[in-house]
Amino acid sequence: MLINSQTLLIGIIGNPLEHSLSPRMHNLTLSKMGLDYIYVPLEVAPNWLGEAVAGLKALNFKGVNVTIPYKKAVIPYLDELSPEALACGAVNLIKNENGYLTGYNTDGRGFMASLAEEGVGSIKRVVLIGAGGAAHSIAYELAIAGVEQISILDLDEAKACELARFVESLPAGKADGAQMSDELFSRLSQNADLIINCTPVGMYPDVDNTPVRSLNNVQPDTVVYDLIYNPISTRFLSIAQANNLKTINGLSMLVHQGALTLKILTGATPPITYMKEVVLNNY
C-alpha cells in the first residue's frame, strides 16, 4: 500500500478498538479493489468526541464507521440522518461530503443481506433475544420487510417492551416484548421461523455460555442466527446444530455491513467472498 497526498482517508471511531477486525478487512479489500484509500482506527476518548467529528471535516476524511460507545452519542454532531439511522437512533457510519455529515446505520441492512445470501425468505414470526443496539436495527428492517410478529426477550423487561413499542410505531410493525425466561422462550420459539441471538452471551472469552439451553421445541425448518462472529460457532449455534436446524453466524452480517460502508463511501461494489476470506484468515 503506497500512501501519498492523493490517498483518501476513511476510518473507524470507537473506544476501545484493539479487537476490531474492520481496519484489516477494509484495508485489504480497498487494496484488492484498486482504490487509493486507507482505513484508519481512531480511538477517541469520550470528552473529545465533538472535536474528533469536527476533525473529520478539517482533515477531509471521506467517512468513518462508528462503534461502541458512540453510536448514539455522535448524532448531535451530524447534519442529517438516513431514514434507518433516524428511526433506530443509532449511527454506525458517517459520510462526509464537503463538510456535510450524514449518519447511516448499515447493521440492519447487513443482516438482511446475509439472510438473502443464505436463501432465507418468507419469514413470518421471529424471536429476538436481546433488545440492545443491534436488535434495534434488525427489528426495524424485519418490520419494514413485513414480518408478521417479532417477539423480543431481554433480561430487562423495560428494554424489551420499549423496542416492541418502537416496532409497533412503524407502519405494519407487530411486536411484543417481555422479560427473558426459559419457559417463555420455549413457548414463543415453537412457532418461530427465525430465532436470533442479539446478545453478547457466548462471545469470546465467555464461550461456554449461551442465551438459551434448549431448542428442543422448535420446528425443524426454524433458522437459528447468532450475531456473534467470535467464536465463529457459538455454543448457542451448536445446540441448534445438534437439533439439525439451519444456523447462521455473525460473519456474514459483519461482512455485508462492511461492504455497505465501502459502497456508500466509494460508490464501488466490494467483493463479498474476498472480504469473508480476509475475516476468516484473521481470527
Active site residues: 71
Number of H helices and number of E strands within the chain? Answer: 10, 12
| CA 48/CA 145 separation, integer angstroms | 38
**Cβ contacts of 91 within 8 Å, gap of 6 or more:** 66, 71, 72, 74, 75, 78, 81, 85, 103, 104, 105
**Cβ contacts of 3 within 8 Å, gap of 6 or more:** 38
From 1-9, 46-54, 224-232, 263-271, span contacting ligand NAP (CB under 6 A): 224-232
Cβ 70 to ligand NAP, closest distance in Å?
A: 12
| CA 136/CA 114 separation, integer angstroms | 17
Helix (H, G, I), strand (E, B) or coil at 213: coil
Cβ 41 to ligand NAP, closest distance in Å?
A: 17
Is residue 135 at the binding interface for ligand NAP, with CB under 6 A as the rule?
A: yes
Pick the closer one to ligand NAP by CB: 107 or 193. Answer: 107
Is residue 89 at the binding interface for ligand NAP, with CB under 6 A as the rule?
A: no
Size of residue set near ligand NAP by CB under 6 A: 28
Is residue 12 at the binding interface for ligand NAP, with CB under 6 A as the rule?
A: no
Question: For ligand NAP, which residue has the nearest CB?
Answer: 132
Pick the closer one to ligand NAP by CB: 9 or 154. Answer: 154
Contact at 8 Å (CB) between 7 and 37?
Answer: yes
Cβ 115 to ligand NAP, closest distance in Å?
A: 12
Angle (CA) 68-108-232 rounded to 5° is: 70
Contact at 8 Å (CB) between 197 and 129?
Answer: yes
DSSP code string of 99-112: TEEEEE--HHHHHH
Given 132, 184, 272, 276, the residue binding ligand NAP (CB under 6 A): 132
From 25-33, 58-66, 77-85, 194-202, span contacting ligand NAP (CB under 6 A): 194-202
Cβ 100 to ligand NAP, closest distance in Å?
A: 27
Pick the closer one to ligand NAP by CB: 11 or 250. Answer: 250
Is residue 150 at the binding interface for ligand NAP, with CB under 6 A as the rule?
A: no
Take residue 146 and report the three cell numbers written for it: 413485513
List of residues contacting ligand NAP (CB under 6 A): 107, 110, 129-135, 153-156, 159, 180, 198-201, 203, 211, 227-229, 250, 253-254, 257
